[in-house]
Amino acid sequence: HHLYDANETFFREVRRLPAGHGLKQVRGRREVFRYWDPAPAGKPLRWATAEEARELPRLLRSACERVMECANGRTGILLSGGLDSVSVAAYASDLAAERGWPRPRAFSVVFPGEGDEESVQKEVAQKLGFPQTLTAIRDFEKGPGLLQRALDVAAVCPAPPAFVFAPPFLHLLGEAKTQGCEVVLTGDGGDELLLATPAWAADLIR
């Protein structure tokens, strides 16, 4: 095991551009440059003001409602044990009750070891009354193995998957569709807070 290197890929001679960076090559000279920094050097870091923080509950509820309306409430949630997806689940639960929509369904990936959040995932789903489907990373290590499955996914994706754990999450999305969910809500990991989101790349491309 080693610390994650943001530049590494599965291939020895292929390197990944770090988040928020670009690559420029002019007359044989290659340069990696940063085009976005959440905390620019020499400038004070601007945190959310108290007034902005008070807006978060309203905005989060509004975001959940907007997406759930598109599916007439037939909603799934990728539920981890983190604050983000649990908060989304709580608002989705309230909205479903208020609007008479079906109870959202929870879909969870169980990681082994220190990343194990299964007890929290189950407790949240139970308390909110969500039917839950769980899948374990260990199940995807069997047969061809997790890495080969990730490479198989990469072969049919328009862009390489950002992480090796894509197969179990894609499996759960298939389960959600089978169970009648038209949309699937999710949070975003706190450790990715300072990375450039792929959604931003899509905005730039558009």
Number of helical (H) and strand (E) elements in the chain, helices listed first: 6, 6
How far from chain centre, in Å, is Cα 206? 21
pTM metric for this prediction: 0.74
Write down the pLDDT at residue 166.
86
- Sequence-ordered list of residues with C-beta below 8 angstroms from that of 80, at least 6 positions apart, any chain: 86, 108, 109, 117, 121, 187, 189
Tens of pLDDT along the chain (206 residues) come to 345 677 887 788 888 888 889 999 999 999 999 988 877 778 887 778 999 999 999 999 999 999 999 998 899 999 999 888 999 999 999 999 999 999 999 999 999 888 899 999 999 999 999 999 999 999 999 999 998 998 998 888 777 676 788 899 999 999 999 999 999 998 875 445 445 566 666 666 77
How far, in Å, CA of 4 to CA of 89, rounded? 30
- In degrees and rounded to multiples of 5, residue 182 shows phi and psi of -95, -25
How far, in Å, CA of 92 to CA of 87, rounded? 9
Q: Map residue 132 onto helix, strand or coil.
A: strand
How far, in Å, CA of 63 to CA of 195, rounded? 21
Dihedral through CA 178, CA 88, CA 113, CA 154, nearest 10? 50
Write down the pLDDT at residue 201.
64
C-alpha torsion sign, points 44, 48, 51, 52: positive
How far, in Å, CA of 11 to CA of 8, rounded? 8
Q: Map residue 116 onto helix, strand or coil.
A: coil
